[in-house]
Amino acid sequence: MPAFEPEKIFATLERHHVDYVLIGGLAATLHGSNLRTGDVDVCPSRTPQNLAKLAAALIELGARIRTPDSPSGLRFACDAKFLAQMELCNLTTRFGDFDVSFRPSGTDGYPDLRRHAVDFELGDLIVPTASLDDIIRSKTAAARPKDLAQLPTLRSLQRLAAKRKKRP
């Protein structure tokens, strides 16, 4: 299994000018969650131009489809046409696991998430990240046991953020 180096995944997306929003556990971490994650989850724009840019980034990352039966992943037709047909791609790359979700649970995809996204600076990179409210909305809708277990922590962070906003 490759080392988890999310900053290298973000740098590759940046080099290829991919429009995306970070979602999932790593997005929650940037909002202050202490919950651990071992992958990068993004929701990219579905425009044909962006899918071509995403495909080029995935090729550079050495992306392969992640399956339990093949630790190094399976090759796939990494192009805009293939990506346009997908709703979710669970991938492995040279820099760790990377999941691409075009319509995360409880959302209408990229335009919906981008509307309230927050930009986080990670070194020289700006990472567009789903708002905490949108992360909670998506995890609630997904209703997977691991997502439901994270909700109390995320709601606590949401309450703290609301208190900060109310201060003069």
pLDDT in tens, 16-46: 999 999 999 999 999 999 888 889 999 999 9
Per the CB < 8 A criterion, the answer to whether 90 and 66 are in contact is yes
Asked if pLDDT for residue 1 goes beyond 80, the answer is: no
Hey, what amino acid is at 125? L
CATH architecture of 6-161: 2-Layer Sandwich (3.30)
Express each pLDDT in 56-108 by its tens digit.
Answer: 999 999 999 999 898 789 999 899 999 999 999 999 999 999 999 999 999 99
User: Which of 27, 72, 78 has its CA nearest to residue 54?
Assistant: 78
Apex 93 CA angle, 137 and 60, nearest 5: 110
Look-up of token digits 């995320």:
154
CA distance 121 to 110: 20
Domain map of the chain by residue range? 6-161
Q: Sheet harboring 125-129: ordered strands across?
A: 70-74, 64-67, 88-93, 96-101, 39-44, 20-23, 125-129, 118-122
Per the CB < 8 A criterion, the answer to whether 20 and 58 are in contact is no
Phi-psi domain of 54 (left: phi exceeds 0; alpha: psi -120 through 50; beta: other)? alpha
Asked if pLDDT for residue 168 goes beyond 80, the answer is: no
- Tell me the whole-structure pTM to 2 decimals: 0.93
Express each pLDDT in 13-24 by its tens digit.
Answer: 999 999 999 999
CA 128 to chain centre: 10
